[in-house]
Structure formats: C-alpha cells, structure tokens
C-alpha cells in the first residue's frame, strides 16, 4: 500500500516537524490535529516561517510552497482521522494519555488504517494493546528538529506485521529519512544508548569527577559529539530524561538504568533545562 493521506495527532514541536516532512518532502496530504487551537496557530506560523526561509535560500520554489500548503490542513476535529491511511501520534509522553487517544482513534478509523506512535520510550506493544489492530501498529521515532535530522527509528511491536513494517519503511524513505529498526524493548536503540550516556555524565558531575564544562568538552573533542551530554540533556528536557530512565529501569528491572539522583533533584526543583531557563547550565 502506498501512503497518500496522513493524519498527525499533536501539532507541537514534533507534530509540526512531521507535517513538514509529509507535505514538503514526501509531497503527500497531511492533516495536523491538536486539542489546542493556539498550538495549531503557532505551528502553522512556524511552518510558514520555515518554508519562507527555504525559499530565500533557494531550496524551495514559490510553486513548491504553494503546492505543499495545498496538501496541508490543520484541525481540532479528531473525526477527520477517518480519511487517513496512516496516523502518526505525537501527543505528550504519557502512557495513559496515549492509550486513551489510540482507543478512541480505533473507533474512528477504518480497520486498514495504520497507527504509528512517535514515542521516544513508551512500549509500542502496550500502546497497540488498547486497539484491535496490533498488526497495523508501529513505532515511528523521529528526531528534533525533524526537518534537519536524517534518522527515523522504526519500532516493531510484538504483533506488528511484516506488511505494516514494509509500508511504513517505504514511507520513511519517501520522507527523506535513513531508517533503522528496533524491536520493542525499553528505550529501543537510540533512547537506550543516548540516555545511558546522559545519565552517566550526570553521575560524573554529581561525584565530582569533573565540571559540567569539562565533561561536555571531553565528549565533544574526544568523541566528536556535536554537543556535550549535559548540554544535550538540558536541550532534551530533564523531565524527559528522567521519564526515559525510569521507563528503562522499570522495563528491564535493572539498576543499570537507575536515574541519577542529581537529575531527580533538578526535576523536583522545577529546573528542567533550556525550557525553564535552568538545568545543568543557566540560560538567559
Ligand atoms: N521533543 C523531542 O525532541 C522529541 C523527540 C522524539 C520524540 N518525541 C516524542 O514526541 C511526542 C510529542 O513531543 P513534543 O516534543 O512534540 O511535545 P509538544 O508538547 O511540543 O507537543 C504535544 C502536543 O500534543 C497536544 N496534545 C495534548 N493532548 C492531546 C490529545 N489528547 N490529542 C491531541 N493533541 C494533544 C498538545 O496541545 C501539544 O501541542 C512525545 O511522545 C515525545 O516523547 C519528542
């Protein structure tokens, strides 16, 4: 099956980026849904700004922008999902919220519609379990900012069919992404490896092995990482890091994934990184 009509649920940072990839790169129709009209207006404005920038740089023509805008719709009406062949969910990272969403969606969409979640750490199999389409359910883990990041991590749930996997993989390539595939274990490939590094950097800081600046510079210059792990944790959000570590610790039942106490303390204090102006660093 070739995917022509996509419904993106959650029009925030990730949903907006995914809508860009679908409408501009893959040149397919996409409807972006959010419960919050202000978020939709903000995403729409950010989308227009990005397209204008790409036109200025000569990367897109005015005709391409016009055509992409024709393919893109914004809505607060979930019923519109009934027309989609693929729904990509990008609502907040809360298991109960996502399960409630998919359970409702399952009533609205025809049986052949494929459901995908952009979760970075929640079990795909648990999300699929609230629907009657475990075979047509998959993880599509995009990276931020979606228009710049080449990677797409697909996650096969316990019941994901080969046909679903192949259809979504082909669509991922049409989105201009390099696709990697993970099975449904806590943290998949990228969140598991990435978060363990960030968490270990936090332990190194807490134990006084080095300053935040030296830990970050060590990884940048010694391992060619574009960003140090503590600066990256601040950018990702310390609440997001804590929730990913907790999911892995509970999922594996292994102390290897215990969240660093310093991370817990910063989250308790409301210092969530860049978005609150303070984390391992302070931001103006
Ligand atoms: N931010 C990242 O770097 C990143 C990277 C990969 C994956 N993810 C995952 O993507 C998902 C979304 O993250 P984000 O950073 O875009 O969050 P975000 O807060 O920017 O966007 C989430 C949006 O969902 C909307 N929403 C809330 N409840 C809803 C509902 N019931 N129905 C429809 N919309 C609803 C909110 O209004 C908000 O606009 C999460 O699962 C997150 O773990 C995030």
What burial letters (b/e) apply to 173-186, b meaning 16+ CB within 10 Å? Answer: ebbebebebbebeb
Residue 72 has pLDDT above 90, yes or no: yes
Radius of gyration over every alpha carbon of the chain, rounded to an integer in angstroms: 19
Average pLDDT over all residues of the chain = 97
**Last residue within a domain, chosen from 136, 166, 183:** 183
pLDDT tens digits, 162-210: 999 999 999 999 999 999 999 999 999 999 999 999 999 999 999 999 9
Q: Is 53 exposed, middle or buried (0-12, 13-18, 19+ CB in 10 A)?
A: exposed
Q: Give me the number of domains the chain comprises.
A: 2
What's the pLDDT score for residue 238?
97
pLDDT tens digits, 133-164: 999 999 999 999 999 999 999 999 999 999 99
Nearest CA-CA partner of 1 in 158, 170, 142: 170
What's the pLDDT score for residue 68?
94
pLDDT tens digits, 213-228: 999 999 999 999 999 9
Range of the domain at 72: 5-183
Pair (154, 64) in one structural domain: yes
What's the pLDDT score for residue 61?
94
- Assign residue 204 the CATH number of its domain: 1.10.1040.50
- Assign residue 14 the CATH number of its domain: 3.40.50.720
What's the pLDDT score for residue 255?
95
The residue to mutate among 78, 90, 97, 195, having the most atoms of ligand 1 within 8 angstroms of its beta carbon, is: 90
The residue to mutate among 13, 78, 117, 122, having the most atoms of ligand 1 within 8 angstroms of its beta carbon, is: 13
Structure confidence at residue 284 as a pLDDT band (50, 70, 90): confident
What's the pLDDT score for residue 262?
98
Is residue 20 within 8 A of residue 50, CB to CB? The reply is yes
Q: What is the DSSP string of 210-231?
A: S-HHHHHHHHHHHH--SS-HHH
Q: What is the largest CA-CA distance in the chain?
A: 57
Please work out whether the CB of residue 51 comes within 6 Å of at least one atom of ligand 1.
no
Percent of the chain exceeding pLDDT 90 equals 99
Provide mean pLDDT across the span 259-273.
98
**Last residue within a domain, chosen from 183, 199, 225:** 183
Please work out whether the CB of residue 194 comes within 6 Å of at least one atom of ligand 1.
no
Taking the complete model, does pTM exceed 0.85, yes or no?
Answer: yes
Question: Residue 55: inside a domain, yes or no?
Answer: yes
Pair (95, 179) in one structural domain: yes
What's the pLDDT score for residue 1?
80
C-alpha 89 – ligand 1 centre gap (Å): 8
Question: Residue 113: inside a domain, yes or no?
Answer: yes
What whole-number distance in Å separates Cα of residue 262 and Cα of residue 267?
9
Q: Name the residue at shortest CA distance from atom 31 of ligand 1.
A: 101
C-alpha 19 – ligand 1 centre gap (Å): 13
What's the pLDDT score for residue 37?
96
Please work out whether the CB of residue 102 comes within 6 Å of at least one atom of ligand 1.
no
Structure confidence at residue 264 as a pLDDT band (50, 70, 90): very high
Question: Residue 284: inside a domain, yes or no?
Answer: no
Pair (108, 244) in one structural domain: no
């Amino acid at each position: 099956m070739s995917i022509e009509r996509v419904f993106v649920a959650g029009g925030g940072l990730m949903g907006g980026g995914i809508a860009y990839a679908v409408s501009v790169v893959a040149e397919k129709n996409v409807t972006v849904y959010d419960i919050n009209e202000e978020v939709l207006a903000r995403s729409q404005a950010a989308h227009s700004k990005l397209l204008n920038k790409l036109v200025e740089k000569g990367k897109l023509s005015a005709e391409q922008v016009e055509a992409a805008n024709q393919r893109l719709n914004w809505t607060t009406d979930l019923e519109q999902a009934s027309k989609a062949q693929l729904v990509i969910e990008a609502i907040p990272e809360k298991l109960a919220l996502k399960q409630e969403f998919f359970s409702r969606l399952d009533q609205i969409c025809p049986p052949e519609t494929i459901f995908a979640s952009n979760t970075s750490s929640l079990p795909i199999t648990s999300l699929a379990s609230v629907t009657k389409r475990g075979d047509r359910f998959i993880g599509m883990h995009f990276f931020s900012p979606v228009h710049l990041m080449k990677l797409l991590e697909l996650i096969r749930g316990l019941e994901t069919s080969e046909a679903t996997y192949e259809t979504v993989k082909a669509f991922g390539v049409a989105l201009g992404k390099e696709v990697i595939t993970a099975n449904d274990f806590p943290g998949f490939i990228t969140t598991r490896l990435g978060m363990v590094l960030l968490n270990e950097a936090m332990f190194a800081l807490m134990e006084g092995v080095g300053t935040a600046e030296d830990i970050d510079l060590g990884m940048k210059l010694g391992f060619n990482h574009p960003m140090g792990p503590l600066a990256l944790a601040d950018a990702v959000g310390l609440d997001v890091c804590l929730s990913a570590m907790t999911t892995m610790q509970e999922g594996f039942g292994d102390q290897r994934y215990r969240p660093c106490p310093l991370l817990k303390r910063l989250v308790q204090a409301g210092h969530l990184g860049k978005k609150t102006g303070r984390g391992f660093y302070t931001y103006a």
